[in-house]
Structure 1
Amino acid sequence: MSEIHPKITEVLTATFKVPAAEIIPEATMDSLEMDSLAVAEFAVIIKETLGIDADSDSLLKGATLAEITAFLDGARTARTARTAHAGHAAHAGHTLRAVHTVHVAGTTHAVSTASGVSETNEAPVGVGR
């Protein structure tokens, strides 16, 4: 089970006084008697506690708690992937700045031994890239 589901349960029971027995995968915000204001507040709490932007309009459209949990899990996974990608891109940027130009037998070679990247430029020595 995801770590999102217990957080949803906690928010619904503690903040909105929804009985725990009613928090089942098939429940909707409507079946839990959550009006639009409560759903908007729920979305704000989710953003503050989990860092996930939950669009309250999509939560009102009859989504079940199982669907909401899956949506939030997917959003969290995507956010984690973007963060990891951004970190990798930042690392790649540092690697690219470490590229050195080597002159060998009349040709210019750009070599980065850190990443194993090697690029050859057939321009004569002294001709800029």
Structure 2
Amino acid sequence: MSSTYDRLVGLLAKGFGIEPGETAPDNTFDELELDSLALVELTLAVQEEFGLTLTDDDLQAKNTLADAADVLDAKLVTLR
């Protein structure tokens, strides 16, 4: 996977106690048991980590980790 994916998994490990070995690209945030508050916290952590501005729709419970990494990659491209 991409470095964006790895950084996202690192944020999940650091902020939410989700072990990197317990995740897979096709896991949804729902499957990882992140509720709406946790997704808001993750969104804030992602914005700080990546220097991005995210909307409420960018990270949703039904998104897989791979989907989220793709969203972040697309936003990073627009910054360059």
TM-score normalised by the chain length of structure 2: 0.88
**Whole-angstrom distance in 2 between the partners of 1:9 and 1:32:** 11
Change (3 A) 1:56 1:19: farther
Higher relative contact order (CA 8 A, sep 6+): 2
Q: CA deviation at 1:60?
A: 1.9
Change (3 A) 1:40 1:75: same
The answer to whether the aligner puts 1:35 opposite 2:50 as a matched pair is no
Q: CA deviation at 1:61?
A: 4.6
Q: CA deviation at 1:9?
A: 1.1
Which letter maps to 2:65? L
SS in 2 for 1:45: helix
Q: CA deviation at 1:74?
A: 0.5
Bigger Rg, structure 1 or 2: 1
Which letter maps to 2:78? A
Change (3 A) 1:11 1:38: same
SS in 1 for 2:13: helix
Alignment coverage as a number of residue pairs: 80
Which letter maps to 1:47? Q
Aligned pairs for 1:27-106 (under 5 A) are: 27-80=27-80
**Whole-angstrom distance in 1 between the partners of 2:57 and 2:22:** 22
Moved more, 59-68 or 37-46: 59-68
| 1:43–1:53 contact (8 Å) kept in structure 2 | no
Gaps spanning 5+ residues in structure 2: where?
Answer: none
Which residue pairs with 1:94 in the alignment?
none
More helix by share: 2
Which residue pairs with 1:104 in the alignment?
none
| Structure 1 runs, 4 residues or longer, greater than 4 Å off | none
Which residue pairs with 1:13 in the alignment?
13
